[in-house]
Structure 1
């Protein structure tokens, strides 16, 4: 099951409330404060002669964890409200970090991450402190925002290159506060300082091997399948299958089947399907490496 399938019906229920003015309450899934906020939004809209005529919801997975029979998800909810007020038509948008819990595939909780300090507490008996989706030094949301802001342009704060794919990926990771190490040795670690940087900052082959071997600073865990990745993770490409890694992409979303959509530089790309079969560099011998950036 794709992680967001159960949540889609929940988001649809919220949309129905706003569009039709009906009350909605799913016991156990939404705190009363959020129920009240939805109703206040609807009443406020009515009082100013505005109506929500269309809502689009999209979830972007930021983190996941399995505890016993429970699955915990941290995600970003992107909402778009098309609003009509008299002759004026405009779109309101929101980005909200949320937390959800499923037990054996059933959604039992979904709420704002702002509640209880941004953690999801799950009563699992002893050791329940481990059953939290915690903030960490890798800020995926900031990395994603950077990836979206600069996918088709060069940030003047950094050096740019004709072959810019790995430099762009490193900038995304840096925006997410991934820790650097190794300065000033260009052959060690992953770092950028002034007009100097490590080979792993700019060279796809070097970054691929850094991600495989690093035990501190920027660290990653190799996973077997592309659908094991979440936004903020990395894919490395050996187009010829000869052991030399030529390209790197940044996961920004997943398609309806749970497979990655990526942003990249050199050929600037946004929300491109991860496999790159449409690339002129693709060959039948292509190899991939899938890296989950450690939080």
Structure 2
């Protein structure tokens, strides 16, 4: 006996619902969370996450890498392999000393992280440069919370510092400076004006490179 019209409609509705679920599961999920990375950076800007991670003498990139991975969900690439390759990015072990911790060059080196983000897919997208003398309130519109700023101090070493953009407002230590602000390590700072002009005596020779982190990294 043929099914009733109401049963056919119910069956069709169920089929459509199941199809929608299947299609939605096929859609790529956005994995990298800029807000999560920024929250991690805020939490550990002044008090490093030890003993989970060691603290390096030049700790800026180790700190940014932690924020990208732990807070933002950016996954390891080529985990525990070829530590010098620009296509890998990982760490393992725990602190508080480096003796129980291993890492790729891109985890701890600012230039190496910069090169990794350019090489990875979808990775990061360069969004221009600015001088360290900049007093502009904002970084470029395409640079958002959870993105990374790289600094060349102009001393012949190339990119040698990294920081994470975490928000907008007044510099925590110099409130007369208002604009986008960053967190960073080595000299640990929380909510510092993004160009670092208030802190960098050599600002006139500094070049800042903006890196937008693609939210599709997973």
> TM-score category by the smaller chain?
0.5 to 0.7
Shift of 1:243: 5.5
Specify which structure has the higher proportion of strand: 1
Q: CA deviation at 1:205?
A: 1.5
Cα RMSD after superposing both structures: 2.4
- For 2:84, which of 165, 187, 211 is the aligned residue? 187
CA distance in 1, matches of 2:149, 2:193: 11
SS class of match (1:227): coil
Whether 1:162 and 2:76 are equivalent positions in the alignment is no
- Residue equivalent to 1:199: 105
Q: Deviations over 1:14-45 (max 9, x none)?
A: xxxxxxxxxxxxxxxxxxxxxxxxxxxxxxxx
Of the three residues 151, 157, 160, the one matched with 1:246 is 160
User: Using the alignment, how far apart are the partners of 1:157 and 1:213 within structure 2?
Assistant: 28
Shift of 1:255: 3.9
Q: Which residue of 2 aligns with 1:144?
A: 38
Aligned equivalent of 1:263? 183
- Spell out the pairing of 1:219-234 with structure 2 (5 A cutoff): 219-224=123-128, 226-228=139-141, 229-234=143-148
Quote how far apart the aligned CAs of 1:260 are: 2.3
Report how far residue 139 of structure 1 moved: 1.9
Q: What is the Cα deviation at residue 224 of structure 1?
A: 2.4
How far has the Cα of 1:277 moved from its partner?
1.4
Alpha-carbon shift at residue 137 of structure 1 (Å): 0.8
Partner of 1:84: none
Unaligned runs of 5+ in 1: 1-128
Which string of whole-angstrom CA distances, capped at 9 and with x for unpartnered residues, describes residues 33-87 of structure 1? xxxxxxxxxxxxxxxxxxxxxxxxxxxxxxxxxxxxxxxxxxxxxxxxxxxxxxx
* 2:197 aligned counterpart, secondary structure: coil
TM-score, length of structure 1 as denominator length? 0.50
| Structure 2 CA distance for partners of 1:135 and 1:261, relative to 1, 3 Å | farther
Range with greater deviation from structure 2 (236-245 or 173-182): 236-245
- Say which structure, 1 or 2, has more relative contact order (CA 8 Å, 6+ apart): 2
Counterpart among 179, 182, 199 of residue 279 in structure 1: 199
Rounded to whole Å, the distance in 2 between the matches of 1:283 and 1:261 is 16
Write out the 4+ residue segments of structure 1 that deviate beyond 6 Å after TM superposition. Answer: none
- Cα–Cα, structure 1 residues 293 and 214, in superposed 2: closer, same or farther, change >3 Å? same
CA distance in 2, matches of 1:289, 1:145: 22
Q: 2:112, 2:82 → 1: CA distance?
A: 14
Aligned length: 161
Where does the alignment leave 5 or more consecutive residues of structure 2 unmatched? 1-23, 94-100, 130-138, 171-176
Alpha-carbon offset, residue 141 of structure 1: 2.5
